[in-house]
Structure 1
Amino acid sequence: MDVCQGLIDSDVEVSPKNWFEYSVRVQPHHTDYAGIAWHGSYIAWMEEARVECLRSIGIEFAQLVALGCDLPVVELSVRYHRQIQLGRLAIVRTRMANLSGVRIPWDYQIQSPDGQELYVTARVTLVAVDREKGKIMRRLPPAMEHALAPLANISGD
């Protein structure tokens, strides 16, 4: 039985060159004593954006977990370009880079709302894990591949 059987339909059109955008505001708990966003806050924002991107195509992360699929981070590369100060608004842009076997890389840009300041660029790679067996899957379950298809094969702009 397909471990992700029953994943909800995801026949939503997503333009391959478009980034999913998620807005954040730097809150006091995101900052250090100087009022500058703490480096770990960016990682949390990236995960929030990824979960919301999946939700936008009809995939609830909780459903993946309930169906026995887990998507842990196995690689993380972050380049900090500029600091963000307390109270500032930022846009977290994300897209799936491509679908390569069970590796699912996501690209990120965190920038000012007007796009004039780039704060962070990053790549996060996830892998599909069978929660019951605790092992990396040899390939993505067909239902999961179908669900992620609207985001797959995205080329850079």
Structure 2
Amino acid sequence: MSGKTAETPQIPPSNALDIPASQVSENWFEYLVKVHPHHTDYGGIVWHGTYLTWLEEARVECLRSIGVDFADLVALGCDLPVVDLSIRYHRSLQLGMSAIVKTRMHEVTGVRLDWDYAIVSADTQELYVTAKVTLVAVDRERGKIMRHLPANVKDALTKLSTLAK
């Protein structure tokens, strides 16, 4: 041996998904979830894909709470597909547990919508997941990115994004 000790490879920290504890309770839309058997693997631990479903449910309910119903977007010919997703699993949820999915729109840039998420325990003492999701507005008929959001949607989303700041 050359005197060097073998180092265990480490995953570099990702500050991009860290949400300071002081910000977790400020200006977030909250969506309560409960872990049912179909959310888990055979060990009773929430399957990683379930968290993505909860993020979307929270986002759709947040939009609905400000008067933007997803069905109305579809009727307008607008879809909001995910184009970027980052998720960090801090701690696992287990069968029977409840949690709060907190979401807020971070920014609206043209037709790009950036969302932040934190999934926390019902008492907000435990952090389970942090995530960032980017959506873009797409014209459903043409299958192309829209040049502009529908005016009423843009107004509602702009109000929502200013609340998050």
TM-score by length of 2: 0.81
Letter in 1 for 2:148: R
Whole-angstrom distance in 1 between the partners of 2:60 and 2:129: 19
The residue number in structure 2 matching 1:21 is 30
The equivalent of 1:125 in structure 2 is: 134
Q: What residue is the counterpart of 1:41 in the other structure?
A: 50
Return the index of the structure with the highest Cα Rg: 2
Cα distance in 1, alignment partners of residues 113 and 56 from structure 2: 13
* Residues in 2 aligned to 1:152 and 1:115: alpha-carbon distance in whole angstroms: 23
Pair 1:146-2:155 in alignment: yes
Q: Is the 8 A contact 2:36 2:96 kept in 1?
A: yes
CA contact (8 A) 2:68 2:153 kept: no
Could you tell me how far 1:152 is from its partner in structure 2?
A: 1.6
Aligned partners of 1:144 and 1:56: how far apart in 2? 13
Name the SS of the counterpart of 2:123 in structure 1: coil
Higher relative contact order structure (alpha carbons within 8 Å, sequence separation ≥ 6): 1
3-state DSSP of counterpart to 1:98: strand
Deviation at 1:147, TM superposition (A): 2.4
Q: Counterpart of 1:114? A: 123
Q: Runs of 5+ in structure 2 lacking a partner?
A: 1-25
Q: Structure 1-normalised TM-score?
A: 0.85
1:136 aligns with 2:138: no
Matches of 2:152 and 2:69, distance apart in 1: 14
Alignment partners' CA distance in 1, 2:70 and 2:84 = 19
Query: Are residue 61 (structure 1) and residue 81 (structure 2) matched?
Result: no
The alignment's C-alpha RMSD in Å is: 1.0
Structure 1 portions without partners, runs of 5+: 1-16
Give the distance between the partners of 2:35 and 2:151, measured in 1 at CA. 39
Matched AA of 1:128: A
Paired with 2:152 and 2:66, the residues of 1 have a C-alpha distance of 14
Alignment: residue pair count:
139
Picking from 54, 63, 85, the partner of 1:76 is 85
Shift of 1:58: 1.2
Which protein is richer in helix relative to its size? 2
Match of 2:52, SS?
Answer: helix
